[in-house]
Structure formats: C-alpha cells, structure tokens
Amino acid sequence: MPAGMAIAPAEQGIAHQVAAALSAVFGDVLSTFNLLFDRPVPVILGAMAIALLLLFLGWKIYRITLVMFGLLAGATLGFLFGDWISAKFAIQSAAIPVAITVVLALLLGILAVPFVKLMVFVFCGFLGSVSASYLCQRLGLGSSVLWTAASFVIVGLLSVLLMRHAMILFTSLLGSYVLVAGAMAMCHRFGGILIANRMNLVWPMIAWLVLFLLGVRAQAGRGSEKRHIS
C-alpha cells in the first residue's frame, strides 16, 4: 500500500451518519453558526440576551420582534433602493442612500404596530418561502417562482390564522439559533473552536433543536397555565 494512504473504516459511526444526513439536507446553512465569530464580545452577549427573550418570552414580545423585523427589512430595502438610485443617476454623495435607508426603516418599523397581522403574514411568509426554496434545491427538486410564491402565501396565511402558534414557533426557532451562534462565537473567541467539518456541525445542530423544543414548551406551557387558571 502506498505510503500515506489511510485505510477507510468499514463502517461509519452513528455520529458520522447523523452529520452526513444533516449536511445533505441543510448543507452550508449550518455553517452560518459562525456569523457572530468576528463580532465584539458585548455584541455577542447582547445578541444572546435578546435570543433568550425571544426563546422564552417570544409570544409576549412578538410585537417588538415585528417592529425589529420592520426596521431591518426597511433598512435593507432602503439600502438596495438607494444604491440603485446612486448607480442609475451617477450620484456620488452617500447622503441620499443613507436617507432612503433611514426613512424606509422607520416607515416599516412604525407600520408594524398598527398592521400586526400584515407584518406576521410578510415575516412568516418570507421565512417559509426561503426555507421551502432552499429545501427543494437541497433535495434535488429544483426551485421555481411558483413554489416560492405558493409557500410564501400558504405559510403567511397559516401564520395569520394561527398567530400565537406561529409566533411561538418562529421566535423559538430564531432565539435558539442566535443563542447557539453566540455560544459558538464565545467558544471560538476564548477556546479557538472552529466549525471545520461536518462533524463539528452535529453538536450545534443538536443544541439548536433542544433549545428550540425547550422554548416551544416553555411558551406553550405558560399560555396553557394561564388559560387553566382563568
């Protein structure tokens, strides 16, 4: 046998099989757990504190979550629109894109208060369409505008009809994800731990799932206790 050639194991362990299955379905999405790696410690801790609130009190503060989503969505749209205007009319000043970004961010953030159901429809529909489109690509089904639009409408309408359940699910999902990402960032900063291969993704994924279920259980249980008392 040539030097340096390793002998492949006859069977993979269960952890390797789980890692391969997760990678096949989620692919590079799991590597986004490193999104907070280069952020300052106060930012990481602040994100984790907000994630804890979303995880266990998401239904109570879902209006605040929608306002934050409106601000973020407005800022993103404003930045893209301002950048397009600058390129279209060859505007060198950065004041116009910044102004458009601020105005749209404030506008959508303010509109999230009186139009709660509309924001729930857009927020949940957007997450549903992105998830459906990505999973279709990973499973080899291809992506289409029809399926993306259909998943947006279906998930959005279901979220409005089942608002409490939808917000519990989405806030628990988001809170657990940011919490794990923050923990990974702290481990990277103080322990030099990296997500270098598929095996490194197993434990963050398991932690994400466990925290998500804990968040759902805590929020749903708190609501059922109140109804029982009343």
Where the chain has pLDDT below 70, the residues are 1-32, 138-144, 193-201, 222-230
pLDDT one-digit tens code per residue, 100-110 = 888 888 888 88
Exposed / middle / buried, residue 55 (Cβ in 10 Å: 0-12, 13-18, 19+): buried
User: How much is the pLDDT for 10?
Assistant: 40
- Token pair, residue 40, equals 């300052």
Q: What pLDDT does residue 115 have?
A: 87
CB atoms within 10 A of CB 170: 20
State the first-to-last Cα distance of the chain, in angstroms, to the nearest integer. Answer: 75
Q: Chain-centre distance of CA 116, in angstroms?
A: 20
Residue pair 155/101 in contact (Cβ under 8 Å)? The answer is no
CB 69 within 8 A of CB 50: no
* Helix intervals (H) in the chain: 14-26, 41-57, 62-88, 95-111, 116-138, 145-161, 163-191, 198-229
Separation CA 212–CA 170 (nearest Å): 9
* Listed residue (141, 175, 180, 164) closest to 220, CA to CA: 164
pLDDT of residue 2: 43
Q: Please tell me the distance from the alpha carbon of residue 185 to that of residue 191, in angstroms, as a whole number.
A: 10
